[in-house]
A and B are shown apart, each in its own frame.
Chain A
Amino acid sequence: MREWRVAMATYQEFIQQNEDRDGVRFSWNLWPSSRLEATRLVVPVSCLFTPLKERPDLPPVQYEPVLCSRANCKAVLNPLCQVDYRAKIWACNFCFQRNPRGPPNPLIFLYVVDTCLEEEDLQALKESLQMSLSLLPPNALVGLITFGRMVQVHELSCEGIAKSYVFRGTKELSSKQIQEMLGLTNPSATGPQGRPAAPQDPAVTCRFLQPVHKVDMNLTDLLGELQRDPWPVPQGKRPLRSTGIALSIAVGLLEGTFPNTGARVMMFMGGPPTQGPGMVVGDELKTPIRSWHDITKDNARHLKKATKYYDALANRAASNGHSIDIYACALDQTGLLEMKCLSNLTGGHIAMGDSFNTSLFKQTFQRVFSKDHNGEFRMAFGGTLEVSTSRELKVSGAIGPCVSLNAKGPCISENEVGVGGTTQWKICSLSPSTTLALYFEVVNQHNAPIPQGGRGAVQFVTQYQHSNTQRRIRVTTVARNWADAQSQIQHIESSFDQEASAVIMARLGVFRAESEEGPDVLRWLDRQLIRLCQKFGQFNKDDPTSFKLSESLSLYPQFMFHLRRSPFLQVFNNSPDECSYYRHHFVCQNLTQSLIMIQPILYSYSFHGPPEPVLLDSGSILPDRILLMDTFFQLVIYHGETIAQWRKAGYQEQPEYENFKHLLVAPVDDAQEILQTRFPMPRYIDTEHGGSQARFLLSKVNPSQTHNNLYSWGQETGAPILTDDVSLQVFMDHLKKLAVSSAA
């Protein structure tokens, strides 16, 4: 027993050291040497990879010489290559891959602003946008599109009267038409015989995207003068919002002027799109925006069409290397369900708030421009990730804010998981916390000998544009030992990283939930959990009370319990937009934050000692404790009954009760430390026993009291479903019963 404890301690250190150094967490740190054995382990060999994990000690590698980005080519840029200066692309003459060009390009920020807002909200938004001009990278290009019933593209000149180009909000235009109407296409740009013309500086020719240091004063005035959309909104109607057209103009504008350059479209909206392509709901207030109920009854009129529309826009933006942020502030839904792909495919942000005049929006928006300890912006652009593996492994796919680059090669598995069929992905915008889940397949045949002293290896090559416009490469190469699962299963077991595996499996579940029915995903999740317990649990057959899991797996069932109850899979407790918002952040964030989203952290503060983690269970709610719960999206401070009474009585004001004052302040300080840096800004709830806001805590720890604590069997396959509303205790009891059952 002691030997395994030592092995466990060693693995925990090993896991942490590897994460600190490489930004990689593998589900298994000792790899089964055959495909058959790998499938028997239930959780696939997979990892979470944070490409831009902050590494203050790492010197940057300059992007020299300019190499072809195709994995099996890597030829160097040479005079035989065709170069398109305007589009900043060169074509490799060996493999014909189109590659982005070397010289640094300025970053671009294109604001797309909804003017159908209440006066107070519009004022707050205008101020935030004016403020942001001081936060942008100094040489960045900036642009402004406003929309309501019509869409206006503003010319940002340094002098004279501001001009704008107005588009109808209902008419769909092709990218070419948009560029023509904006005067961006220049027929004389191509020289004779189609050769690229002399290089032009697009910054000079594009009146709509200008350097912020040149136009900041005019743009500040322009923003200050923005009015609410003048089109009157009759009683019982919603404002006419042409979000779809506004976005297509934004994407088309960038496509025509700066393809393959780091750019962010930042869209600010105060309500749903109500006209034109991409409309999510009509303008009649009596027709509410679609709910889950509507969707399951196939009663969401605009859903399919709108989703398809934004999906197409998202793919276009992604292929141009441009990211799209959505800042949605309204009391009702705004259409995040239909529009989420715009951010999910491009690595853009989604912020969801009640009003632009809130700290939640203002601080979240400010933090987009946050800097690291070197004073450099955290955001990065134009990322590509390429993965190579040693030949016993193949790449099944990735789940995260990326699109496929469709790069073929020898490392690709036929079993696709997530975004598969490729070993290269594009992440148009990324931050130090952006994390992809990567799934591998072991391809060694059963009984094939393990390479002597052999280790499997994976290499991650990330190329990106730093916020200082410089291109950089980061190469991470990791290796793990192979092990024969027949003789070394306990070693493999102690190499299990339950935290990484929980997030990896959860991403798989969320990915499936986007295309499959909810109950099917829960069934699948349960099945995997039961199989894992059957494989690694220590028990006597048919004796549930004998069931034990070793330390390396002991937290895993609890993660799965909470995952099943989480808003990622229990959609009916939240609106479709809320669900999209939560899922978006879940598949972008790093391991620590993702785990908080699955199973919130709960700490208990008392007079009896330092703050301690406690079970996310109603048993942890005690009268003389203060609880701090972090769900990632909310921070809840809950005062137990006695504490609440003392607080109400004001004991904290009396000098002899100073330690009570400290007790009250301690969770507030810890919460504030989280609030100071988290992106996006969470909600902050200060509540107590009997308080109405206590429900945020109670819903996480208490199962429904009215539900019968039974489990039921599935209809089609007979596979067991563990119901959602049981307590952790009951869940564990059922799990143990099923795991030890010889009938299973």
Chain B
Amino acid sequence: MEAKDLYIKPGNQERGWNDPPQFSYGLQTAAQGAPKRTPLNKRVPPPQLTGSPCPVPGDVPSLTAPMTPPTNPLAPPCSMNTPPRPCPVAAPPLGGVMMMATPPPPFPVVEHTDSASSQSENEPDVDDVVTLLNWALTACRHTVKKQVCNDVAKRLKLFEDMWKSGKLSLPVRRRMNGLVQELKSCNWDAADEIHRALIVDHVNEVGQWMVGVKRLIAETRNLNPDLLHTQEVDQSLDTSSTGNSD
């Protein structure tokens, strides 16, 4: 899973009030079973029962915070002009760098922008991807029911058409390329996981055809390995014969 695939999008504030942010599949699976960095589970007993001094109530209007964070001696221009007074807190004030419980995680928290037209140096080639998919499908045709293969073929065609007409975003194109590479290397679980991540993260783009890829992976992994090796992947003359006939 690439770092690009670990992201958070804002929720849908138009349809749901205070809709929480949406985590990508990669971020969610990374979090499974991982211990919490900073478990927020402590509570404070009320002073009336333990005999310690009461906390100062907060509605004292003249109480202000230091005008600046401790590292900066400059006072920022701010609407409050009263001289700064330290807040009464349990912990002693710290000069220098402010401490946090732990540093933030290294995930890039970015707006996920879908741009079918954005190009990067890693722009995958649609024909390479389609060729690999068809290679697997051809191998399946020996043993898998014709109807199933045709259904898969139909969806692969839809995928190809959507790509060629610019309807698929770069992350989808990039990750499909990754998926077929895993297929080629017979890393079935990895390919399957990419399909799952894609359908979770981009269901509106891939929903109609991804199930064909899912089935293709499932059928291909069950094939006799010899069947796969007899297929020549790189022969360009295969492209036409493995195209969508029937």
Contacts and interface: CB of A to CB of B under 8 A. Distances in A.
A610 interface: yes
A49 to B, nearest CB: 20
A357 interface: yes
Interface string A70-87: 000000000000000000
Contact of B207 (A131, A158, A608, A736): A131
Given A127-B207, A615-B44, A363 B69 contact: no
Interface in A543-580: 547-549, 551, 554-555, 557-558
Max count, chain A CB within 10 A of own CB: residue among B19, B27, B33, B42 = B19
A134 B91 contact: no
Contact of A693 (B18, B64, B200): B18
Contacts of B204: 127
Q: Chain A interface residue count: which class?
A: 35 or more
B27 A608 contact: no
Contact of B16 (A359, A609, A628): A359
Contacts of B207: 127, 130-131, 220, 224
A360 B16 contact: yes
Interface in A721-744: 728-729, 732-733, 736
Interface stretch (A165-173, A269-277, A283-291, A674-682): A674-682
A100 B121 CA distance: 59
Contacts of A634: 18
B200 A642 contact: no
Contacts of A355: 12, 15-16
Interface stretch (B96-104, B177-185, B237-245): B96-104
A683 interface: yes
Contacts of B3: none
Contacts of A555: 43, 45
A189 interface: no
A389 B215 CA distance: 51
Interface string A620-631: 111111001010
B20 A683 contact: yes
Contacts of B55: 614-615, 617, 619-620
B83 interface: no
Contacts of B12: 355, 357-359
Contacts of B27: 676
Max count, chain B CB within 10 A of own CB: residue among A224, A366, A672 = A672
Contact of A666 (B46, B100, B109): B100
A551 B76 CA distance: 45
A642 B65 contact: yes
B70 A607 contact: yes
Nearest to A128: B203
Interface stretch (A19-27, A90-98, A486-494, A655-663): A655-663
Given A549-B49, A649-B76, A620 B89 contact: no
A687 to B, nearest CB: 9
Given A217-B152, A619-B58, A606 B87 contact: yes
A47 to B, nearest CB: 20
B154 to A, nearest CB: 9
Contacts of B212: 217
B89 A666 contact: no
A354 B71 CA distance: 45
Max count, chain B CB within 10 A of own CB: residue among A54, A608, A651, A673 = A608
B28 interface: yes
Interface in A352-380: 353-355, 357-363, 366-367, 370-373
B244 to A, nearest CB: 16
Interface in A204-225: 213, 216-218, 220, 224
B155 to A, nearest CB: 7
B199 A134 contact: yes
A612 B90 contact: yes
A450 interface: no
A551 B148 CA distance: 67
Interface string B199-228: 110011001101110110010000000000
A60 B153 CA distance: 42
B20 A360 contact: yes
Contacts of B16: 353-355, 357-361
A676 B200 contact: no
6 contacts: A54-B33, A134-B214, A354-B16, A610-B99, A622-B58, A657-B68
Given A607-B66, A623-B64, 11 more contacts: A130-B203, A213-B215, A220-B208, A224-B208, A355-B16, A358-B12, A358-B16, A554-B45, A608-B92, A657-B72, A666-B101
Interface of B: 8-9, 11-12, 15-23, 27-29, 31-34, 36-38, 40-46, 48-51, 55-59, 63-66, 68-72, 74, 76, 78-80, 87, 89-94, 97-101, 104-105, 109, 147-148, 151-152, 155, 195-196, 199-200, 203-204, 207-208, 210-212, 214-215, 218
